[in-house]
Structure 1
């Protein structure tokens, strides 16, 4: 029997995932959508930073879009009336 030329000693599984969205940055604060928003960075509360999707399929940080909607009830990217579709905890 031949001795193997390569012997497997240890393995580590590695995975990569991302959201299936076209916009990867929050159009309001310009941070990556999976990072924390400016408000969460300032107050160091990264666990509470959620992503909000509109029915137009645009995604923003929940804090960013909430502030935006206080003055305008439209999507910042397409100017259509804003309707929440769903939110995601990161």
Structure 2
């Protein structure tokens, strides 16, 4: 089989290309909608100290009359996250991560 098949051609028999005739499109993309998934770069979704979800306020913020939407999260170098108020209280008694008992070192503080 020495001759090449034209893959773009819809008919089974090969036809010679005509130089002046534009190629007919098989289909055209009229609209494209991208879908993506994302997640936090952290190991946990729940504060291991107060057991509330990290996107919800901690016990201190939910019990007080202050702004409940502004409860920052603390992320350690071990990639475990806690409410900032919870880990501050925890660190006063012991300087270790509540989940893996490694030495607690703060990597960043994130606002919800």
TM range (shorter): 0.7 to 0.9
How far did residue 53 of structure 1 move? 0.3
Q: Distance in 1 between matches of 2:70 and 2:53?
A: 16
Q: Answer yes or no: is 1:74 the counterpart of 2:86.
A: no
TM-score by length of 1: 0.76
Structure with greater proportional helix content = 1
Q: Report how many residues are paired.
A: 75
Structure with greater proportional strand content = 1
More RCO (CA 8 Å, sep 6+): 1
Which residue is equivalent to 1:36? 57
Which residue is equivalent to 1:51? 73
Structure 2 unaligned regions, length at least 5 = 1-36
Runs of 4+ with deviation above 2 angstroms = 16-22
Secondary structure at the counterpart of residue 70 of structure 1? helix
Structure 1 unaligned regions, length at least 5 = 1-15
Structure 2 vs 1, CA of residues 73 and 19 (structure 1 numbering), >3 Å: closer, same or farther? same
Which residue is equivalent to 2:110? 88
TM-superposition CA deviations, 1:7-37 (whole Å, max 9, x none): xxxxxxxxx8652433110000000011000
TM-score by length of 2: 0.62
